Amino acid sequence: MTAADTAATDTVRFSAVLTPHRSLSPRAFLVVMALLAIASFAAGITFLMMGAWPVFGYFGLDVALVYWAFRRNFADARLFESVALTERELVVRRVARNAEPKEWRFIPYWVRVELEENEALETCGPLYLTSHGRRLQIGAFLSPDERRSFATALSRALSRAT
C-alpha cells in the first residue's frame, strides 16, 4: 500500500474552508459605482459651467480610484485557507491571489492551537498552529469572534483525533 493509498483511506475528522468576509455583492458594487459616477458627473458639470474645467477631470479621477480600490478588494477576496484533519495528518492549504497555493502538513498529536487573547480588551489576536518549533498563522482575515470559534472547533477536533 502506497502513501497515496493510505492518505485516500484516511477518514476526514474535521474540514473547514476559511474565506474573508465581503459585505458588498457584485450587484451592490454596480449600484454604488453608478451612484458615485452620477454624483461626480453632476458635480463636475457644475464646476465646468462655473469655468473651473480642471475640476471636472478630478471628479472622474475620484471615480476611477474608487473603482480600482473596490476591484482590488474583490481580487483579495479570492484568498482562502482550507484546513483538513485526518487520522494521520492536519493539512493547511492557502490559496492567494496571484500566487502558487501553499500547503503545510502537521502530525495531529503534536499540533497545538494557540490563540492570543487580550482579556482586558475582550478581544483576541492572531491564531497559530504550532508544532516542532514551527508556527503557522491561519485565519488572519477572520474577525476575533470567528477566530475564537474556529480555534475552539479545531482544538476539539484535534483532541478527539489523538
pLDDT tens-place values along the chain, 162 residues long: 344 444 556 788 899 999 887 778 888 889 999 999 999 999 999 988 898 888 888 888 999 999 998 888 887 777 889 999 998 999 999 988 777 899 999 999 999 999 987 766 667 888 999 998 899 999 888 888 899 999 999 999 998 876
pLDDT at 79: 83
DSSP state of 26: H
Class of domain 3-20+81-161: mainly beta
Q: Which long-range contacts (CB under 8 A, 24 or more apart) does 141-145 make?
A: 141/18, 141/20, 141/21, 141/79, 142/18, 142/20, 143/21
The residue extents of the domains of the chain are 3-20+81-161, 26-76
**8 A C-beta contact, residue 13 and residue 161:** yes
Confidence (pLDDT) at 2: 41
Residue 6: per-residue pLDDT? 45
pLDDT, position 131 = 92
